[in-house]
Amino acid sequence: MPRRRTALPAVVGLTAGLLAAAGPASPAGAEPLPEKVPLAVGTGGAVATVDPDATRVGLEVLAAGGNAADAAVAAAAALGVTEPYSAGVGGGGFFVHFDAATGEVSTIEGRETAPLAMGADAFLDAEGNPLDFDEAVQSGLSVGTPGTPLTWVRALEEFGTLSLAEALAGGIRLAEEGFVVDETFREQTAENEEKFRRFAPTAELFLPGGALPEVGSVFRNPDLARTYGTLAAEGVGSFYTGELAEAIVATVQDPPEAAGAEEVRPGLLEEGDLARYDAPLRAPTRVDYRGLQVYGMAPPSSGGSTVGEGLNVLEQFPLGSVSEVSALHHFLEASAVAFADRNRYVGDPAYAPVPLGELLSDGFATERACAIDPGKAATKPVDAGVPDGEYGPCPGAAAASADGGAEGPSTTHLTVGDADGNIASYTLTIEQTGGSGITVPDAGFILNNELTDFTFAAADPAAPEPNLPAPGKRPRSSMSPTIVLDDGEPLLAVGSPGGSTIITTVLQTLVGRIDRDLDLVEAIAAPRATQRNTETVNAEPAFLAAYGAELAVLGHVFTETAEIGAATGIEYLPDGLLLAAAEPERRGGGSAGVVEEVGGAAADAAGLAPDIGDAG
């Protein structure tokens, strides 16, 4: 399909996101909340995060001449302040980068890692039964060596221009001066109140004066400012071998329960685990979809392989020319198929080989597409395929295995595109909202519970289970920071939080944008559903209202879920324009910004959604 090249008015307006305009009303006498918009179009670079302060910090870096990687690290450090329950130096994440000068896509794998002392039975009780999930989360046992500080340093060294100190400056200022508490922050604190009260330093920091922070109040975190200051002054070694390392290990081994609170399980981390931590560069995954090149995160994340397999399977069907219900039916069925294979074959590749090349091959996709009946939903769970390189038309299958992880609306994704065409697509997390709930005393950040992403016990002891704990192993993730190129040129990037629903959210957003002619904000805002090879499809109320009845006729069974994911993205438009996109509603709405807004551009629908990819 030919591209629509629409000239947009080249009127340069106010610098979006750099002005702290008054936003939604806050209670009388309270501080105004910063402005949040889900869409911005302009030049000079684009940033999309869930939070207006983080977006502003990223834009300031771009406006001052920093590149996409610089702005991504700065925005992530800001999110560590304003989204401390989703992200921060106590967690990990995956950083995907496109370098416009070399045309290369690279990734940094900053996944938290199990202690060397952790064995396969770590999450089993004395009788050999899996531990209660919440009990495992709220314990030292769930804490893996954090990967985020080293990810930031590596991103700056490999792709950036700023020093760590320069990239942390915005976050330090925000932690010192504070941010205005919004409804989402208060709600997330309320949801975590019980967990936070179990740990003295957490209650002290996040329940100031023993109460939930008020909407409109200013929240400061001087301890985190000091931690960032130490990183800035002494380098990342201070985190992995210095005083901070000692404090982390002491906290994990003897969690600081509040007076009178029940004791939690101690963790296994030792100083040697932090000292040996690495956040390696890994080759990205790549699939070609409708003539576009889609890059993602390789194992130990299952994001790139599962989004990629889903796209390869969907490419067998003409999604661009079928009804909306039919397109969604295929999306749900392809998701189930890809999840069957993810659950069976993907884990940390250092511990069991992952047949990544075969999972992402066109031959395998053609074979797997056989499992999809365009007129009828398959009975779930569907069996896993056999990615052995020998693909017939419609073969037998291997038994399915279940996904061991529970899912919450935690984590955060940020996306940056700079004026030179460099892109950073970065998902980071401390796992659950509020992580393990354990704050390192006087350090201002919560430790992750990422090790509960391991499968506690194999569902079928006879079938291989790639995601059991092991010494030094990285738990399987679903994080799917994604970059899409067109003939090697930057086109768009997207990602989301949401545990294993991340994968289906990214897949649905890509299909919406590439096949269904939605612009990126529409594709992000569209009502969501997620089929992860389970009996029922989780779907948002708006999805059920619009498509539930017709999809039920095809055999889909639904469970209503209030909200799925919280995506952000950027897109390079024709005429040198950049678009930043965030959620209009979910999680209280995200924050999109560009360095120089182009007046009226955001109103030009055709310019926002030129045809991309070959028709499907």
**Which residue's CB is nearer to ligand GLU, number 344 or number 413?**
413
Cβ distance to ligand GLU smaller for residue 139 or 477 = 477
Residue 458 CA to its chain's centroid (Å): 26
CB-based contact 356:299 (threshold 8 Å): yes
Question: Binding to ligand GLU by residue 498, rule CB under 6 A?
Answer: yes
Of 371-379, 393-401, 493-501, 608-616, which part binds ligand GLU (CB under 6 A)?
A: 493-501
Site for ligand GLU (CB under 6 A): which residue of 140, 404, 499, 548?
499
Binding mask 463-482 for ligand GLU (x = CB under 6 A): --------------xxx---
Cβ neighbours, 10 Å, residue 29: 6
Q: Is 55 a catalytic residue?
A: no
43: Cα separation from own chain's centroid: 26
Selected from 32, 229, 349, 408, the binder of ligand GLU by CB under 6 A is: 408
How many helical (H) and strand (E) elements, i.e. helices and strands, does the chain have?
21, 18
Nearer to ligand GLU, 349 or 408 (CB): 408
The yes or no reply on residue 148 touching ligand GLU (CB under 6 A) is no
The interface with ligand GLU within residues 110-139 (CB under 6 A) comprises none
- State which of residues 107, 148, 429, 531 lies at the interface with ligand GLU (CB under 6 A): 429
Residue 72 one-letter amino acid: A
Orientation angle between helical segments 303-314 and 324-345, nearest 10 degrees:
140
Cβ at position 401, least distance to ligand GLU in Å? 17
Shorter beta-carbon distance to ligand GLU: residue 160 or 475:
475
Residue 561 interacting with ligand GLU (CB under 6 A): no
The DSSP H or E segment spanning 109 is strand 104-110
Q: Is 113 helix (H, G, I), strand (E, B) or coil?
A: strand
d(CA 213, CA 89) in angstroms, rounded, equals 22
Catalytic residue among 107, 411, 429, 501: 411
CA 570 to chain centre: 15
Cβ count near 208 (within 10 Å): 14
Give the strand pairing for 285-289 and 292-296.
antiparallel
Q: Which residues of 147-178 are buried (b: 16+ CB within 10 A; e: fewer)?
A: bbbbbbbbbbeebbebebebbbbbbbbbbbeb
Distance set, CA 182 to CA 88, 278, 606 (Å): 19, 36, 34
User: Which residues ranging from 439 to 458 are in contact with ligand GLU (CB under 6 A)?
Assistant: 450, 453
Tokens of 86: 């989703």
The stretch near ligand GLU (CB under 6 A) out of 133-141, 194-202, 311-319, 496-504 is 496-504
Per CB under 6 A, which of residues 355..394 are in contact with ligand GLU?
none
User: Applying CB under 6 A, does 410 fall inside the site for ligand GLU?
Assistant: yes
User: What CA–CA distance (Å, rounded) separates 510 from 133?
Assistant: 33
Could you tell me the smallest distance in angstroms from the CB atom of residue 301 to ligand GLU? 7
Query: Considering the rule CB under 6 A, would residue 67 count as an interface residue with ligand GLU?
Result: no
Residues 17-56 that bind ligand GLU (CB under 6 A): none
Half-sphere exposure of 514 (CA within 13 A, CB side): 29
478 versus 508: smaller Cβ distance to ligand GLU = 478
| Of 4-12, 138-146, 384-392, 403-411: span binding ligand GLU (CB under 6 A) | 403-411
**Residues marked as catalytic:** 411
Q: For binding to ligand GLU (CB under 6 A), which residues are involved?
A: 407-408, 410-411, 429, 431, 450, 453, 477-479, 497-499, 502
